[in-house]
């Protein structure tokens, strides 16, 4: 299971407000070292996120949405560079990517609707499958890098149970709360996710500095 921050990098949020915009000349909106990220890259990423969320084509996103997508794209590219350096072939993740692709197709209700969305977004199945496989590769890298260091101590689990779980259960549950042993594994996984999020956020900030990430306005 991935951390909340990592999940956010690869999970589209609520549908953003959109506004029709005239065609503009492509411009650089960020850079990682000497590698540019253009507005066209960001808009392509936005369309990819719509596909993942089972959405139909929309007009260009508003400025705030473009900024959020750009920031996610920067972090994804940094993580992608790291995963490429660790050596696992993207083909190793094809089976999982194919499962995800099938789940996405189901969100459109029919094969025809899915094919229409792909065509409208200027994408095809091999391209989409490759993008999803890359995400799976990054997720695996982050899990392997941070999960061992994110394992909680017994005292942390017990503290979370008494300080957070029991009060939350009293507010929303009925009857006495389950014993710690019954929910211990769930609490451990939640604490691991939170720790992975913190470790990943700190790592990303370090990479942004060392890789000379620069932000430019749209």
Judged against a pLDDT cut of 90, whether residue 131 lies above it is answered with yes
pLDDT number for residue 197: 96
Q: Is residue 120 part of a domain?
A: yes
Q: Is residue 73 part of a domain?
A: yes
Judged against a pLDDT cut of 80, whether residue 179 lies above it is answered with yes
Q: Is residue 9 part of a domain?
A: yes
Q: Is residue 182 part of a domain?
A: no
The mean pLDDT value for 27-37 works out to 96
The mean pLDDT value for 63-90 works out to 90
Q: Confidence band (pLDDT; 50, 70, 90) for 174? A: confident
Report the C-alpha gap between 210 and 159 in whole angstroms: 37
The mean pLDDT value for 114-124 works out to 92
Q: Is residue 154 part of a domain?
A: no
Q: Is residue 167 part of a domain?
A: no
Q: 28-37, 89-98, 163-172: which has the minimum mean pLDDT?
A: 89-98
The mean pLDDT value for 101-120 works out to 93
Q: Is residue 188 part of a domain?
A: no
pLDDT number for residue 6: 57
DSSP class per residue in the chain: ---HHHHHHHS--SPPPB---------EEEEETTEEEEHHHHHHHHHHHHHHTTPPP-S-B-HHHHHHHHHHHHHHHHHHHHHHHT---GGGGHHHHHHHHHHHHHHTSSHHHHHHHHHHTT--HHHHHHHHHHHHHHHHHHHHHHTGGGPPPHHHHHHHIIIIIHHHHHHH--SSPPPHHHHHHHHHHHHHHHHHHHHHHHHHHHHHHHTTEEE---
What's the mean per-residue pLDDT of the chain? 88
pLDDT number for residue 202: 97
CATH number at residue 44: 1.10.4030
This prediction's pTM:
0.81
For residue 58, what are the domain limits?
4-148+204-215
Judged against a pLDDT cut of 70, whether residue 13 lies above it is answered with no
Question: How many structural domains compose the chain?
Answer: 1
The mean pLDDT value for 145-163 works out to 97
pLDDT number for residue 22: 44
Q: Is residue 174 part of a domain?
A: no
């Amino acid at each position: 299971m991935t951390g909340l921050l990592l999940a956010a990098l690869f999970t589209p949020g609520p549908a953003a407000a959109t506004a029709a915009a005239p065609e503009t000349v492509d411009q650089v909106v960020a850079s990682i070292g000497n590698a540019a990220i253009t507005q066209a890259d960001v808009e392509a990423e936005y369309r990819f996120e719509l596909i993942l969320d089972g959405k139909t084509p929309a007009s260009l996103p508003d400025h705030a949405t473009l900024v959020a997508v750009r920031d996610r794209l920067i972090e994804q590219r940094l993580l992608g560079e790291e995963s490429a350096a660790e050596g696992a072939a993207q083909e190793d993740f094809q089976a999982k990517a194919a499962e995800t692709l099938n789940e996405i197709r189901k969100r459109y209700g029919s094969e025809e609707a899915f094919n229409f969305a792909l065509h409208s977004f200027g994408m095809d199945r091999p391209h989409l499958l490759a993008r999803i496989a890359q995400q799976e590769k990054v997720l695996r890298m982050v899990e392997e890098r941070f999960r061992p260091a994110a394992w909680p101590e017994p005292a942390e689990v017990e503290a979370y149970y008494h300080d957070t779980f029991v009060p939350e259960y009293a507010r929303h549950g009925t009857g006495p709360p389950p014993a710690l042993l019954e929910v211990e594994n769930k609490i451990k996984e939640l604490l691991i996710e939170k720790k992975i999020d913190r470790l990943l956020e700190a790592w990303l900030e370090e990479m942004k500095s060392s890789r000379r990430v620069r932000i430019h306005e749209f």
